[in-house]
């Protein structure tokens, strides 16, 4: 099985004032082509930092690699990013058509991709502006932009946390379809249940370190570490008893 990347003893940090504060590391793990990997952790665990470094975007957030190795087997052009806040990710001055065409190598694919993400083109034309779209529609536009790059890897950072619960299921369904066509997915989230029936493997992080990794759904049934266990048990289940 071909690999996408290999991470060895990676340490990442942020520059605050004169000091460098370590946020992640040392961390070791790999990712294979076509795989769906869940990067699970609470706030401050370092999962977003790690995702940004894989994408090569960490430096834009005033972060840096302190030490370690990130070996990439695909080029960064074959990676796509779906950021957390859809409202902040689209430029309000340009129509979505313009922004989509900017991403695509040939603009004929734009309409096809929009159909794939099920953006209602009859209601929302290519000439509309981001402020005319709802949160869920904006997220679909961002997914379309990711697909237009014909990526081998899509990194999605908390893709549904600013959306309503009812939209969440639809977006995750869309992700499943995309993943079936062979694109690898790195899902960064704090919501453990999202990874179920989607990710094949999960990595649990806490305070910058990898606490546990394993295949799903085995890890959910038999977590080895106490922290993983707490995390899994804290997920609220629908409770019928008073």
Q: Tell me which residues touch another protein (CB under 8 A).
A: 17, 42-43, 164-166, 168-169, 172, 190-194, 196-197, 220, 230-240, 242
Cβ 168 to another protein, closest distance in Å? 6
Nearest CB to another protein, comparing residues 86 and 151: 86
Q: Which residues contact 201 (CB under 8 A, 6 or more apart)?
A: 35, 36, 37, 38, 213, 214, 215, 216
Cβ 230 to another protein, closest distance in Å? 5
Nearest CB to another protein, comparing residues 122 and 233: 233
> Mind giving me the DSSP string for 169-182?
HHHHHHHHHHHHTT
Nearest CB to another protein, comparing residues 25 and 136: 136
Closest CA to 41 of 240, 225, 238, 168: 225
**Pair 100, 148: CB distance under 8 Å:** yes
Give the tokens for residue 75: 């080029």
Nearest CB to another protein, comparing residues 34 and 41: 41
Alpha helices in 127-190 (DSSP H): 135-148, 165-180
- What DSSP character marks residue 133? S
Phi, psi (degrees; rounded to nearest 5) at 177: -60, -45
Cβ 23 to another protein, closest distance in Å? 17
Nearest CB to another protein, comparing residues 17 and 182: 17
Nearest CB to another protein, comparing residues 106 and 241: 241
Cβ 82 to another protein, closest distance in Å? 18
Cβ 211 to another protein, closest distance in Å? 12
- Helix axes 96-103 and 109-116, enclosed angle (nearest 10): 110
3-state DSSP assignment of residue 129: coil
Cβ 192 to another protein, closest distance in Å? 7
Is the Cα torsion angle 52, 58, 63, 66 positive or negative in sign? Answer: positive
């Amino acid at each position: 099985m071909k690999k996408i990347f290999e991470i060895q003893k990676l340490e990442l940090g942020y520059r605050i004032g004169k000091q460098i504060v370590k946020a992640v590391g040392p961390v070791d793990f790999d990712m294979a082509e076509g795989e769906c990997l869940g990067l699970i952790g609470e706030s401050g665990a370092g999962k977003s930092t790690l995702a940004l470094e894989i994408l090569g975007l960490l430096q834009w957030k005033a972060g840096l690699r302190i030490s370690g190795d990130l070996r990439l087997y695909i080029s960064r052009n074959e990676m796509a990013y779906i950021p957390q806040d859809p409202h902040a990710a689209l430029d309000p001055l340009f129509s979505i058509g313009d922004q989509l065409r900017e991403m695509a190598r040939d603009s004929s694919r734009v309409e096809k991709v929009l159909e794939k993400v099920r953006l209602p083109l009859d209601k929302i034309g290519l000439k509309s502006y981001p402020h005319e779209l709802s949160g869920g529609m904006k997220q679909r536009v961002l997914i379309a932009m990711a697909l237009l790059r014909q990526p081998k890897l899509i990194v999605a950072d908390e893709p549904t946390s600013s959306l309503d619960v009812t939209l969440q299921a639809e977006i995750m369904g869309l992700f499943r379809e995309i993943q079936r066509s062979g694109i690898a997915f790195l899902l960064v989230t704090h919501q453990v249940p999202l990874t179920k029936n989607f990710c094949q493997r999960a990595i649990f992080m806490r305070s910058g370190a990898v606490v546990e990794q394993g295949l799903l759904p085995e890890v959910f049934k038999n977590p080895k570490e106490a922290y993983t266990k707490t995390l899994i048990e804290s997920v609220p289940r629908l409770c019928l008893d008073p």
